[in-house]
Amino acid sequence: MRAVQYDRFGSTPSIVELPEPNAPDDGVVVRVAATGVCRSDWHAWRGHDDSVRLPHVPGHEFAGVVTAVGASVTRVVVGDRVTAPFVFACGTCDQCRDGATQVCTRQQQPGFTLQGSYAESVVVPHADVNLVHLPDAVGFAEAAGLGCRFGTAYHALHARGRVAPGEWVVVYGCGGVGLSTIIVAVAAGARVVAVDVSTAALDRAAALGAATLVMDDEAPAAVHRLTDGGAHVSVDAYGSRATSVAAVASLRPRGRHVQVGLLLDDEATPAIPMGRVIADELELLGSHGIAVGEYAAMLDDVVAGRLRPAESIGSTIGFDDLPGALEAMDRPASGSGMTVAVF
């Protein structure tokens, strides 16, 4: 099979020929039809994640068709259209038994601890736990984001942020996960403010129904004015000291901050004002992917048209364009939305 691989962090990825993988006893092989190009892939490529071992195939957002099935798999057959969350859960630890597969204590992750989906085939272990069947009405390109960016936004707002109709949600960072967060928030009946430095990203956010503000030192004060006292829910969808601190500062008393964007390397330790967290009874919530059990409700909303993940896609590319797309994240974004490679 063809795959994108790098043998040094930050080096130009190359397209190589690798052996077609075999299905483990409890797993499957999925022929990848579409895979997302995510900022988390950039973090791995840059060496910000110590779980990555070289040489490495990146990619963790994918959808495709099952081509091989292990002997002990019972829920999946060859030919099934599937996706999966980027956390491959074990299914047996305490967290998995509680339904919180997204924080499995023995989790594996494609594109990080495992070889990823920038390849023609990817292995999914514990397939009966981790695979999600796709309705025929859901295309592969839009389904790719359900494993990370769109699914992450759904979990962040509903399971963690507990968003309610009429509440104000402020989203810092309008890339793929930020735009997905806007889509989910608007569908939930919330009012949304989007904050970013990119005019293209803000224009896209406005088209999705958000009020927009340019990210600067005055952004939190502007959010307070616009929302008459601050947001009920803030989401840092980018992941930096500046955006996480600004998002917390944008909350009203008893507001909930949800941290989605990764805080790695030099950005790992933001100076959150804990005095205000205490005085205003703010909630600081981490959010990591999406539990397998949340997919049924999310897919029902997608099929019914209440959620439209395709609106978070900015561009589609081919397999051969993946190395360049990963390197392009070293530079400021020239467009907006999620990049999806369709094979």
Each residue's pLDDT tens digit, 176-185: 999 999 999 9
> Would you call 213 helix, strand, or coil by DSSP?
strand
pLDDT of residue 236: 98
**Directed axis angle between helix 241-249 and helix 219-226, to 10°?**
30
pLDDT of residue 335: 75
Using pLDDT thresholds of 50, 70 and 90, give the confidence band for residue 47. very high
pLDDT of residue 336: 83
- Yes or no: say if 133 and 81 are a contact pair by the CB < 8 Å rule: yes
CA dihedral 142, 148, 153, 158 (to 10 degrees): 110
Q: Is 90 exceeded by the pLDDT of residue 264? A: no
pLDDT of residue 76: 96
Among the ranges given (79-83, 269-273, 296-300), the one the predictor scored with the smallest mean pLDDT = 269-273
Average pLDDT over residues 129-142: 97
pLDDT of residue 332: 82
* CA of residue 26 relative to chain centroid, distance: 26
Using pLDDT thresholds of 50, 70 and 90, give the confidence band for residue 150. very high
pLDDT of residue 258: 98
How would you label 164-175 residue by residue, b for 16+ Cβ within 10 Å and e otherwise?
A: eeebbbbbbbbb
Average pLDDT over residues 237-263: 97
The length of the chain, given as a count of residues: 343
Structure pTM?
Answer: 0.95
Average pLDDT over residues 87-109: 98
Q: Is 90 exceeded by the pLDDT of residue 74? A: yes
Put residue 157 in one of left, alpha, beta given phi > 0 → left and psi -120 to 50 → alpha. alpha
Q: Is 90 exceeded by the pLDDT of residue 228? A: yes
Q: Is 80 exceeded by the pLDDT of residue 334? A: no
Q: Is 80 exceeded by the pLDDT of residue 54? A: yes
How far from 21 is each of 3, 71, 98, 115, 125, CA to CA, in Å?
A: 12, 15, 32, 10, 12
pLDDT of residue 268: 85
How high does pLDDT run on average in the chain? 96
Strand partners, 168: 191
pLDDT of residue 331: 86
d(CA 27, CA 16): 24
Strands (E), 182-269: 191-196, 211-214, 231-236, 251-259
Q: Is 80 exceeded by the pLDDT of residue 333? A: no
d(CA 275, CA 269): 17
Using pLDDT thresholds of 50, 70 and 90, give the confidence band for residue 133. very high
pLDDT of residue 337: 86
Picking from 172, 179, 174, 161, the residue whose alpha carbon sits closest to that of residue 255 is 161
Q: Is 90 exceeded by the pLDDT of residue 310? A: yes
d(CA 89, CA 18): 26
pLDDT tens readout for residues 152-190: 999 999 999 999 999 999 999 999 999 999 999 999 999
